[in-house]
Structure 1
Amino acid sequence: MTRAAANPSTAPPLWLKGRPYVIAGPCSAETETQVLRTARRLRRDRRVAAFRAGIWKPRTRPDCFEGVGVAGLPWLQRVRRDTGLPVAVEVARAQHVYEALKHGVDILWVGARTTVNPFSVQEVAEALRGADVPVWVKNPVSPDLSLWLGAAERLARAGVRRLGAIHRGFSTADAGPWRNAPRWELALAFRKEAPDLPLLGDPSHLGGRRQFVAEIARRALDLGFDGLMVEAHTRPAAALSDAAQQLTPAALTALLDSLPGHRRGAPCDTAPAAGLAALRGEIDRLDEELMRLLSRRNLVAGQIGRYKKAHRMAAFQGGRWRQVLDDRLEQAVRLGLDRRLVEEILQRIHDLSLQVQISAMRR
């Protein structure tokens, strides 16, 4: 995707006011009272640039709350009248686009479950032809950079001139404590391919639990993201969808205050240089890969422990350990690594492996 195709406006785009650009609001519009109360409280923090609320909710299971539908769009009209905040909704079908535009919705986003399907993205893109509205496209649920770039390209070719991307993490088997794996390197790769598109982080969906939101938000801004989309609800515990990941408006203000250089009245543009951000992202990727490898190694160690138990073998096999250590240290020297440091690391890993084996043998 060329810069011209991605976004013909300037970078950072003139339509993106404020940095970090913050979109906040509940996962779902549940009642008019809930929507208005949340919007009014969010409006007290002038760093919130737009109000979001899910009207149509693509849920995994059919018995989950799937949104109030068109009935909630007049509530958003009232939010705009009462607070002056632009309002944003997710669209997944052409009919969603038509209804949202008919009710004067200011901002649209294409969700992860839609981005993964080129047919759905093309349908949304065709419905947007001739419309002058900002559109954000979330990464697909799967870690597929081409699908994400392709969705942005389809929207750009349909004439969407105010276009941006949202990173919300990816559904993988090794997401760790978070709901989704960050795969920061894919977000940075997207930015490299489409440098003129603003990029927001969605720490709510990435973390899946509110205690992770601040940490993820800081990481996104440290990597040079342009802003955040954060879920906020006046009574998160009672929310009809994604209750565990939503913040109160007060907690969102505390989060924004905690961001380095982003307290009220502080200078805004403090993100590190793009080159440094990319290098840090590569370090993060490598660290995450190390954690995955250590976890897999522990699983294999447990299997070895069970084998040794079944065959009445001792947990510690001295000859095997000396052979492994010599081989690894020889390899370390060839790679230019410090022999003593590598020996210390290997000894720690071996000690842990023995503990895992012994624990497996005692069961």
Structure 2
Amino acid sequence: MENTSTADTFFTRRLAQKGQPLIIAGPCSAESEEQVLTVARALKAAGQADMYRAGIWKPRTKPGGFEGRGTAALPWLQAARAETGLPMAIEVATPKHVEDALKHGIDVLWIGARTTVNPFAVQELADALAGTNTPVMVKNPVNPDLALWAGAIERLERAGIRDLAAIHRGFSTFAPSRYRNAPTWAIPIELKTRYPELPLINDPSHIGGKRDLLLPIAQKALDLDYDGLIIETHPDPDHALSDAAQQVTPARLQELLSELKYRYRSSDNVDYRNKAEELRQKMDTADHEILEMLARRMALIQELAEYKKENNVKILQLERWQEIFKTRPEWGNKLNINDKFVGELYKLIHIESIRLQTEILNGRPIDGPGPLGPGL
């Protein structure tokens, strides 16, 4: 993806004008003209929203539920835009959706998680959007796969779309979680690291799945320097036709936004700068010491692998691994280090240990999956 640091785009212009993260708000689904206009008027009156979002086509996991009003709802968004001046954003999943949206003057399109997971579908949308200069936001795929997310963005860019942003809406997981979709913050952070000029927007509604989780998720996103939030709001959330539990009233949205803390990227305070630089230098020294100790541990693993090879012993010693995974978090706790962090750290060490031992026992390199997925 090209460096767009000097690009004059829909998103960069609004970010520059506002000087704060963008706020995109509106109902999960456009249910009626009255509902669409009621929310739009409330957002305009509050003066906090930069864009209006609404679902038009809403295919659900299982058929039979409310699947949106379709093309019939597009004139309602036209009316809301004419009255409030708010740019309108909707999700598209097919070239026909793109055609209908552009005919009705929709300002911004987004590609949903179920579509991002399919490169064929993304390419069809990219081809349909070629030459339109339409701003497009790309949600992360359902599964935690950074390559798919980046690939979708790059397909659009290759089609000539330069007005791009990414939406982090969380990832499906089989593990027990308090979230509807696990945030897995490492993946959007890595995306931002690779494409620092790409605006990154957080979707606390779909990550949390519950109203009471919106504030802490949104606050963490802002603390991680996200460029915006996309939040679902409905005049009567409990009776919404889709995703009722995660929507809030416009009044509650206004309260929530007022409760967020907007922090600076840095400070001109000389004492802060001096102290931060001093602490960072100490961190550099500590990091060097950590790597030296890791190198020492890996050398011991290699030495052990040579003995296993000589004595025809298998790589995985389950009892030993269970002992390590039990004791290291306990040791970390005694040092005031989060035990879950220590557990995850030793999982990575164990993966690298198996890779090294496999290479030594079999005489050839074996590439394993990285922490963010295959090949990453």
TM range (shorter): 0.7 to 0.9
Q: Is 1:144 matched with 2:145?
A: yes
- In structure 1, the partner of 2:32 is 31
Cα deviation, 1:194-218, whole Å, max 9, x if unaligned, reads 1111000000000001110111000
Q: Is 1:206 matched with 2:200?
A: no
Residue type matched to 1:164 in 2? Answer: A
Structure 1 SS opposite 2:46: coil
TM-superposed deviation, 1:12: 7.8
Structure 2 SS opposite 1:3: coil
Query: Residues of 2 paired with 1:104 and 1:223: CA distance?
Result: 33
- In structure 1, the partner of 2:228 is 227
Query: Residues of 1 paired with 2:176 and 2:192: CA distance?
Result: 22
> Normalized against structure 2, the TM-score is what?
0.70
| Contact kept? 1:10, 1:196, Cα under 8 Å | no
Residues 195, 12 of structure 1: alpha-carbon distance in 2 compared, 3 angstrom cutoff: farther
Residues 11, 93 of structure 1: alpha-carbon distance in 2 compared, 3 angstrom cutoff: closer
- In structure 2, the partner of 1:14 is 13
- In structure 2, the partner of 1:3 is 3
Q: How is 1:232-243 mapped onto 2 (pairs within 5 angstroms)?
A: 232-243=233-244
Query: Residues of 2 paired with 1:244 and 1:120: CA distance?
Result: 30
Residue type matched to 1:251 in 2? Answer: R
Q: How is 1:180-219 mapped onto 2 (pairs within 5 angstroms)?
A: 180-219=181-220
Residues 271, 166 of structure 1: alpha-carbon distance in 2 compared, 3 angstrom cutoff: farther
- In structure 2, the partner of 1:67 is 68
Q: How is 1:298-309 mapped onto 2 (pairs within 5 angstroms)?
A: none
RMSD over aligned Cα atoms: 3.0
Structure 2 SS opposite 1:225: coil
Query: Residues of 1 paired with 2:184 and 2:125: CA distance?
Result: 26
Residues 241, 271 of structure 1: alpha-carbon distance in 2 compared, 3 angstrom cutoff: farther
Structure 2 SS opposite 1:28: coil
TM-superposed deviation, 1:74: 0.2
- In structure 1, the partner of 2:128 is 127
Residue type matched to 1:14 in 2? Answer: R
Q: How is 1:74-113 mapped onto 2 (pairs within 5 angstroms)?
A: 74-113=75-114
Cα deviation, 1:48-89, whole Å, max 9, x if unaligned, reads 001110000131011111110000000000000111111110
- In structure 1, the partner of 2:157 is 156
Query: Residues of 2 paired with 1:14 and 1:234: CA distance?
Result: 30
Give percent identity, aligned residues only.
53
Q: How is 1:245-284 mapped onto 2 (pairs within 5 angstroms)?
A: 245-261=246-262, 270-271=264-265
Gaps (5+ residues) in structure 2? Answer: 268-275, 281-322, 340-376
Q: How is 1:306-325 mapped onto 2 (pairs within 5 angstroms)?
A: none
Residues 7, 66 of structure 1: alpha-carbon distance in 2 compared, 3 angstrom cutoff: farther
| Contact kept? 1:50, 1:87, Cα under 8 Å | yes
Query: Residues of 2 paired with 1:7 and 1:176: CA distance?
Result: 40
TM-superposed deviation, 1:9: 4.3
Structure 1 SS opposite 2:217: helix
Query: Residues of 2 paired with 1:213 and 1:271: CA distance?
Result: 23
Structure 1 SS opposite 2:170: coil
Query: Residues of 2 paired with 1:58 and 1:90: CA distance?
Result: 11
Residue type matched to 2:63 in 1? Answer: P
| Contact kept? 2:89, 2:110, Cα under 8 Å | yes
Gaps (5+ residues) in structure 1? Answer: 262-268, 280-323, 346-363
Cα deviation, 1:189-243, whole Å, max 9, x if unaligned, reads 0001111110000000000011101110001000000110000000001100000
Cα deviation, 1:136-161, whole Å, max 9, x if unaligned, reads 00000000000000000011111111
| Contact kept? 1:208, 1:245, Cα under 8 Å | yes
Aligned residues: 285
Query: Residues of 1 paired with 2:97 and 2:81: CA distance?
Result: 19
- In structure 2, the partner of 1:358 is none
| Contact kept? 2:92, 2:98, Cα under 8 Å | yes
- In structure 1, the partner of 2:169 is 168
Residue type matched to 2:12 in 1? Answer: P
| Contact kept? 1:97, 1:127, Cα under 8 Å | yes
- In structure 2, the partner of 1:354 is none
Structure 1 SS opposite 2:126: helix
Which protein, 1 or 2, shows the higher relative CO under an 8 Å CA cutoff with sep ≥ 6?
A: 1
Residue type matched to 1:119 in 2? Answer: F
Residue type matched to 2:125 in 1? Answer: V
Query: Residues of 1 paired with 2:179 and 2:9: CA distance?
Result: 35
- In structure 2, the partner of 1:266 is none
